[in-house]
Structure 1
Amino acid sequence: MDSNDIVPDVIDEAPKEIAEITYADDVKVELGGELTPTQVKDQPEVNWNAESDALYTLLMIDPDAPSRKNPIFREINHWFVVNIPGNKVADGQVVVEYRGSGPPKDTGLHRYIFLVFKQSEKIVTELFIPKTTREGRLNIKTRDYIDEFNLGNPIAGNYYQAQYDDYVPILHRQIQK
C-alpha cells in the first residue's frame, strides 16, 4: 500500500494483514492488480484474521475521483459496514451500501481500497446511504472516520485498480439524483 501512495493519501500506516476479497466467478483482489467495473459490480466476500468476540469496521473508498491527477472529490465512499462480529460482514450494520467501481471515461486507473478496523466499542449510528445515491458518499475522509469512531490504524486491507469499461454507464444510470 505504500508503493501506490495509499499511505499517505488515505491512511498514515499500512495495515499489517491482507484482507481476502473475492468477487463472483472467483475473481480475487490482488494488491494493486487491475480489475474491471464489470468484474466488481456485485458485493464481494471479505475475510480477514478476526477474533470471534470482537467487532470490526469495513470501509471501501476511491480516493481518485474524478481522476488520480485531479482528486477533487477525494474520497468516495463505496461501502461502509460497522459492528461486524468477527469477519461475518453480512451480520454487520450497513451504513453505506456497496457500489462497484464507476470511474469516468478517460480518467485512467482509480484505486479502490478496502480497510478493516478493529473496533474498541460498538458504534452507534442511524446513518444509512443506499446504493442508488451519491449523497453522503463524496468528499469523505477515512481519517475523519478513524477519529469519529475511534478506529485506530487498520488491521487489514487490500486494493485493486480499475478504469472505465462498458458497465460504467449502466452503473451510473442506477443513481438517483
Structure 2
Amino acid sequence: MKYLITGILLCAINFSLGDVESEFKKAKIEPDIIDKAPIEKIEVKYGKKVVDFGTELTPTEAHEIPEIHYKHEGGVLYTLVMTDPDAPRRGGYNREFRHWLVGNIPEENIAKGEILAEYVGPAPPKNTGKHRYVFLIYKQNQGAITFDERRLSTWDGSQRKRFSIKKFAEKYNLEGPIAGNFMVAEYDDNVPAYHKRLNL
C-alpha cells in the first residue's frame, strides 16, 4: 500500500512538472523567448487574483507589485524577470519589454534583491490584442553578480524596450529558467495614464 501511495504521489508530481512545460509550449513562450521551458511553477498573486498559466488580468488589476513565491535552496541567489514578448504587438519580429528585473535575490526574498528595473505593470497599447506577461526565475550558480545594466526607474519606459531575457541570461551565465508562470492582459482605460508615467 505504501508503494502504491508513493507511486501515485510521484505521478502527480511528474504530471504537475510536465504541466508547466506544456503550458509554456502551448503559449509559445518556448521558443519565442526561451529555448527550454521551466519545470517548476512561480506562485504569483495580485491581491486575491492568482496567476495560473494564462490567467487574464486587466492592467488595473496588475498595477501593483505581485506577491511571488518559488521553490528555492538555502543560501542561493536568484534573478527574477517579468517580460512582455508581445511589444508592441503580438506577431512578427518583436523584442521584449522588461517590466521587472531583480538580481542577487537571497532565496526568495525579492525585497532584499538588487533592483535592475523597477516594477511596472502591464500597459499594452490599444488595439494590440492580449499580451503575454511572463515571469521567470533563474539560478545564480556563481553567487553574487556585478550587473553592469543601467538601473531603470518607473520613468525609463523607452529604455525598457528591445530587451532579450535569453541574451541577458547568457551574458550573466544564469541557470534556467528554473521556474515560471505567465498571464495575459490587454488595453484598458487606465493604460494612457500608465504610458504617461512611463514616459512613452
Give the equivalent residue in structure 1 for 2:78: 56
1:137 partnered with 2:160? yes
Higher fraction of helix: 2
With over 3 angstroms needed to count, the CA separation of the structure-2 counterparts of 1:80 and 1:14, relative to structure 1, is same
SS of alignment partner, residue 140 of structure 1: coil
Give the equivalent residue in structure 2 for 1:98: 119
1:79 partnered with 2:100? yes
- Sequence identity (%): 41
SS of alignment partner, residue 154 of structure 1: strand
**Which digits, 9 at most, give the CA deviation of each residue in 1:54-103, with x for residues without a partner?**
0000011001011102453x211000000000000001000000010000
Unpaired runs of 5+ in structure 1?
A: none
- Paired with 1:152 and 1:123, the residues of 2 have a C-alpha distance of 13
How many residue pairs match? The answer is 175
TM-score, normalised relative to structure 1 = 0.95
- Paired with 1:94 and 1:21, the residues of 2 have a C-alpha distance of 18
TM-score, normalised relative to structure 2 = 0.84
The answer to whether the 8 Å contact 2:53/2:181 transfers is yes
- Paired with 1:168 and 1:79, the residues of 2 have a C-alpha distance of 17
Give the equivalent residue in structure 2 for 1:169: 192
Give the counterpart letter for 2:88 in structure 1: P
- Paired with 1:3 and 1:79, the residues of 2 have a C-alpha distance of 24
- Paired with 2:53 and 2:89, the residues of 1 have a C-alpha distance of 20
Give the equivalent residue in structure 2 for 1:152: 175
Give the equivalent residue in structure 2 for 1:123: 145
Please identify the structure whose Cα radius of gyration is greater. Answer: 2
Task: Quote the offset at 1:146 in angstroms.
Answer: 1.0
What's the Cα RMSD here? 1.2
Give the counterpart letter for 1:97 in structure 2: E
The answer to whether the 8 Å contact 1:40/1:100 transfers is yes
Give the equivalent residue in structure 2 for 1:41: 63
The answer to whether the 8 Å contact 1:107/1:163 transfers is yes
The answer to whether the 8 Å contact 1:103/1:110 transfers is yes
- Paired with 2:146 and 2:194, the residues of 1 have a C-alpha distance of 30
- Paired with 2:26 and 2:112, the residues of 1 have a C-alpha distance of 33
- Paired with 1:132 and 1:70, the residues of 2 have a C-alpha distance of 27
Runs (4+) of structure 1 exceeding 3 A deviation are none
Give the counterpart letter for 2:70 in structure 1: W
Give the equivalent residue in structure 1 for 2:32: 9
Bigger relative contact order (CA 8 A; separation at least 6): 1
- Paired with 1:22 and 1:102, the residues of 2 have a C-alpha distance of 18
Give the equivalent residue in structure 1 for 2:43: 20
Give the equivalent residue in structure 1 for 2:9: none
